[in-house]
Structure 1
């Protein structure tokens, strides 16, 4: 079965096997280290208003920015089948919606998904805008939760998926704060490796996920377009 990757309503990256989910049950242990994080957390200071979703949409990468071989992936309708997360209380602490397919719970957002080379290799870009401290606290908590569970299991329907989370050095790509993780999903003897990197620049948050090579190739370009001022 093909493994689908989604960023959930609380920002947890989890596995969706053709069917997303809406409930969690977790057990296990938690620990955190900040090695995958860089930058200074936002302070509660006066700042520009959040960008609208329409403004964020115009700052997403498009096929012309990416180059030849990239095709947009149509947005898939939300589904609501059971998912159980085993061995990760850190995800459970973020609430039952942590295993539900969707986007981060910030009010202004935009997202684009692409496949590359006519294959299942994918890259996804998400943009969010809100108060800088809210963005900082929210994404920091999300990455801490994922990093706090080096291994856990997701059961979608009756299909188990083993998940491994590995902290990566935060990229030197600009912005005020940066986070990065490598996630490996194993099901039916097949594995999918996904890199997820987030960068906060002021009141804007960029999240790029997908094939590690594609994330590395397009991260700086995505940040430059997202933060460009007209």
Structure 2
């Protein structure tokens, strides 16, 4: 069976999607080292910018003109509600709710866009969230810590078992206030998919870019620049 396992900001998903052309995708991943960097907790600044609305976040997402030729918007698929069980990672199981089912983060203001590239076997998604700096930091930090604390675990979703391995990666320290990055390998039915996921916390914004490692590396800086642009 040919399948693709999609990921979100919360790390794992329980959704299996039909894959038009599936093979192990390790583009851009071989040069990574098994280490993750995260900066200090944000200080309680005197000035606390207000959270941005979901509409404002939507306007700050990358679009086709930002990405360049070869990218097509990926239609949003109907939400699925399969029963999900996490095996071998108690910290992730304890998060419960959307964190265990691959939904979006529960911050009140959010926006998301996803694109396919080339023959559609490569994808990139961008998620933006806005809230207070402390809430953003605590929320994403707790989830990344839980995920990367389990090098291997399994997710059973809708009767399908997905083996997952996680690898901490060097986070891009020069971007934003805090950074997290990881490489996930999803394996099922003899097929594997590699996904890179990098989160950048900057003030009242949280940016998460996920997808094919080479595409994440290519567009991360551009995504942060547009998300944090003023005026």
Structure-1 separation of matches of 2:59 and 2:97: 32
Question: CA deviation digits over 1:34-87, x for unaligned, max 9?
Answer: x51322212334411001100100000001100000000111111111222110
Alignment partner, residue 210 of structure 1 = 211
Query: 8 Å contact 1:185–1:191 — kept in the other structure?
Result: yes
After TM superposition, give the deviation of residue 151 of structure 1 in Å: 0.0
TM-score by length of 1: 0.88
Q: What SS is found at the alignment partner of 1:125?
A: strand
Alignment partner, residue 30 of structure 1 = none
Query: 8 Å contact 2:71–2:117 — kept in the other structure?
Result: yes
Alignment partner, residue 168 of structure 1 = 169
Alignment partner, residue 24 of structure 2 = none
RMSD over equivalenced CA pairs, Å: 1.6
Alignment partner, residue 139 of structure 1 = 140
Alignment partner, residue 177 of structure 1 = 178
Query: 8 Å contact 2:39–2:173 — kept in the other structure?
Result: no
Q: How many aligned residue pairs are there? A: 213
1:64 and 2:65 are equivalent in the alignment:
yes
After TM superposition, give the deviation of residue 114 of structure 1 in Å: 0.3
1:193 and 2:194 are equivalent in the alignment:
yes
Alignment partner, residue 92 of structure 2 = 91
Give the 3 Å change call, closer, same or farther, for CA 103–194 of structure 1 in structure 2. same
Stretches of structure 1 that go unaligned for 5 or more consecutive residues are: 20-34
Structure-2 separation of matches of 1:101 and 1:192: 16
Structure-2 separation of matches of 1:190 and 1:133: 39
Alignment partner, residue 44 of structure 1 = 44
TM-score by length of 2: 0.87
Give the 3 Å change call, closer, same or farther, for CA 131–198 of structure 1 in structure 2. same
After TM superposition, give the deviation of residue 15 of structure 1 in Å: 4.6
Stretches of structure 2 that go unaligned for 5 or more consecutive residues are: 19-34
Alignment partner, residue 111 of structure 2 = 110
Alignment partner, residue 224 of structure 1 = 225
Alignment partner, residue 25 of structure 1 = none
